[in-house]
Chain A
């Protein structure tokens, strides 16, 4: 990657154009009243088509993607994004459909929704899905709305609490708060699982439900899930499954069978659709049969969700088929355990035992700290990985450990890639022990070094102003 410093505005020259439009063959209509028009033209760049193509190609070369290299990013499931999916999403027969066309004009599109709905129901054990949510957090919010709707439809207005484990994804409590629910945290035991006795204390008729991800964010299976679900159900609450960690269970375990009533999936994680630098994603929400009636009352996006993403996910499922879907979970779990076993003698593993698709280290065993020399942190390890051509793991999450380093390899990584990652992680551990200062300065070979984030927040420059 090389540093490239232009902004598109800086390439602008008055009078240059990058577009081609048809000649106007309509009679000129009388213009708009001046009071409705803007005072001056917007400050947009004036550039040619080659300028645009070269600029954005240069920008792309300062970016790392799944196609560039390995992303051991915990809870993000950065798997390979198949190319056939892109071809299908771009088919003109789908791209040209107006969202308000009636069912007679969109039979093909509706078949896609129906087919994917059936497939996801089969994979998860849910009854039916809504495809309106555009992201995982959007799915959480939708699912919690369904939860509240269910209680309200039964005239049960007092249920405003939602129980969330302390290891939950940060969006869980935020989604609950936005949905008008009060968040009650339940602690984890030293073995990383939900403290069921503490949970019992929290259960009463003010509880709307409980949100869980299983395996949890430590990559550990909540093996008392059956007991938890029946306790929550007994007090009248519903169980919500955060599908961010669905990958290891694909084809092996179904959330519906574990007693979950509502769940979301991240099609951009488990079902291989590209992350696109932060979206668009898709967060379909599945519900048990008794909740089907609640779906109609909730409208969370303009039309039918992100159809382009939904197409890709359906293509992925058809490509894999029954047999290979089951391998997704198995291979992801195999990869995570392999990496964990190969590194746990140099990184601190707070909770040992088999993990699922991901695991969490609590920093280095020897961080090189000596008198007057601060040790290498998780941030340093993460930044040093960039020098070796790997993306960093998820860091400082979950909040249970101070130096959390959360690693998730996926089923699309080869043993060679994992071995090289292990080798580099060991090398970094050795570097930390001998020269932690060098790690504080990492990365050394990226287009930019560590930017000054404090200055960015203190004196925000959030737009370019054309002079």
Chain B
């Protein structure tokens, strides 16, 4: 069998290197490994495949899954990806670079992260953004730990039950091990219940409250007055948001939030079965030095030219070690580039149009579905943007099967017994009409 194309070694090279080191063979370099561990396992992996065989293998795996038109949101949204994005992000100077610790040869990475931070601040209405986190749910978990670190001695964080179930699950996992007590605030009348929130806050010891801007029912929550209530009890207000929707919706900054988090996926990142996405986090200036993750700052070099560096590193895990309040050590840099290129291409106008197309499509679909008589509207008259839930009058299994057979991924069941629908700018009126026809005939 030929040696792998990834190894440049000739037999002469290996021999020359061994001679220079002064050993007979490579095994001698493992002489300090006790014999009981060394080459004791006969590896049962298959032989090497050729590139063509590998491509064919994955093509055949891919062809096992039908191509579906996606009419579900619930935390991952099928927005359009302009062709420029993969073209730019696959440039190997970006793709194969390490973390920009050597700033003199990483100005490309550092500059796009600075642009990313600027855009996230502008979308969220906050002062300072970090360079990104893993995904939305972990960003919420980091926010939870940050609330604890900012408020000293308080041990409880409240979660709105309007947050998506997987966001709650991740925050609760982190909380359980980090020693944070979680309280829940129910949703009443389509939004995080203000009276329940006050009642929970009055029990004291609350470091922060995490609430969705668009909740798990797709409803846009009115958070007027929430910031005052939360701040009066000495807690921080965290908004979990969809950054694409923030191009038109009232910003966390305008609602009075201290921390904005969410998943960057709706900014043109493909669904890709759940990742890679990115988590974003932006905060008010007061909390800048408690924010986890990398941050890029502007400065000058010795000649006075504008230059960018990783900064405020005293916050980070590699300095703080066991005193750290976050262990995050990387960011989703390439995905930050992805959404930065997306926001550059779309600009304020493009994002407004994306939201308008999704909004009109979703409202049209909802109206059409209700007209079939097969659903009840659990939240009549409540504002939503691109996704909504309905209560099916009958068990939705047959309808889901028919939709699936026609190539539609739609009507995802939620824990409350509703079904979720979502429309993005990628869905056409023909697709929407065809979906409704299938539902009507089911």
Contacts and interface: CB of A to CB of B under 8 A. Distances in A.
A240 interface: no
A178 interface: yes
Interface in B113-140: 114-115, 117-119, 121-123, 125, 127-129, 131-132, 134-138
Given A32-B220, A37-B250, A322-B45, A42 B348 contact: yes
A373 interface: no
A285 interface: no
B105 interface: yes
Given A108-B65, A170-B318, A452 B299 contact: yes
Given A32-B385, A95-B270, A331-B9, 4 more contacts: A19-B347, A24-B356, A42-B351, A308-B275
B429 interface: yes
A371 interface: no
Given A24-B357, A252-B39, A453-B309, A447 B104 contact: yes
B138 A300 contact: yes
Contacts of A464: 114-115, 118
A338 B20 contact: yes
A78 B102 CA distance: 14
Interface string A433-453: 000000001010011111111
Given A63-B109, A279-B332, A307 B274 contact: yes
A37 B213 CA distance: 12
B160 interface: no
B95 A65 contact: yes
A459 to B, nearest CB: 9
Interface string A302-336: 11111111010001011111111111001101110
B222 interface: yes
B247 A41 contact: yes
25 contacts: A5-B305, A7-B114, A9-B115, A18-B347, A19-B347, A22-B428, A26-B363, A26-B429, A29-B359, A41-B352, A66-B97, A98-B70, A122-B45, A141-B327, A177-B321, A277-B95, A278-B99, A280-B335, A300-B174, A303-B275, A304-B275, A333-B26, A353-B32, A415-B8, A415-B16
B72 A98 contact: yes
Contacts of B437: none
B58 A88 contact: yes
Interface in A152-207: 170-171, 173-180, 183
B296 interface: yes
The list of the 5 closest CB pairs from A to B, nearest first, reads A303-B274, A321-B48, A93-B62, A276-B334, A99-B274
Interface string A355-395: 01000000000000000000000000011001000011000
Contacts of A81: 92, 95-96
Given A277-B97, A311-B58, A414-B8, A338 B347 contact: no
A382 B196 CA distance: 57
B21 A337 contact: yes
Contact of B4 (A25, A42, A327, A382): A327
A117 B45 CA distance: 12
A452 B179 CA distance: 39
A139 B128 CA distance: 27
Contact of B122 (A44, A134, A180, A342): A44
B246 to A, nearest CB: 7
Contacts of B134: 134-135, 138, 279-280, 301
Contacts of B107: 3, 59, 62-63, 447-448
B86 interface: yes
Contacts of A145: 173, 177
Interface in A209-231: 220-221, 223, 225-226
B100 to A, nearest CB: 6
Given A35-B222, A67-B92, A17 B347 contact: yes
A460 B311 contact: yes
Interface residues of B, number: 204
A109 interface: yes
Contacts of B128: 460, 462-463
Interface in B307-364: 307-309, 311-314, 317-335, 337, 340-341, 343-354, 356-357, 359-361, 363-364
B371 interface: no
A280 B332 contact: yes
Contact of A60 (B93, B98, B263): B93
A327 B115 contact: no
A149 to B, nearest CB: 8
B196 to A, nearest CB: 21
A253 B117 contact: no
Interface string B1-28: 1011011110001101110111100101
B46 interface: yes
Nearest to B312: A457
A178 B178 contact: yes
B59 interface: yes
B327 A319 contact: no
B108 A60 contact: yes
A278 B331 contact: yes
A356 B38 CA distance: 14
Contacts of A68: 92-93, 96
B248 interface: yes
A292 interface: no
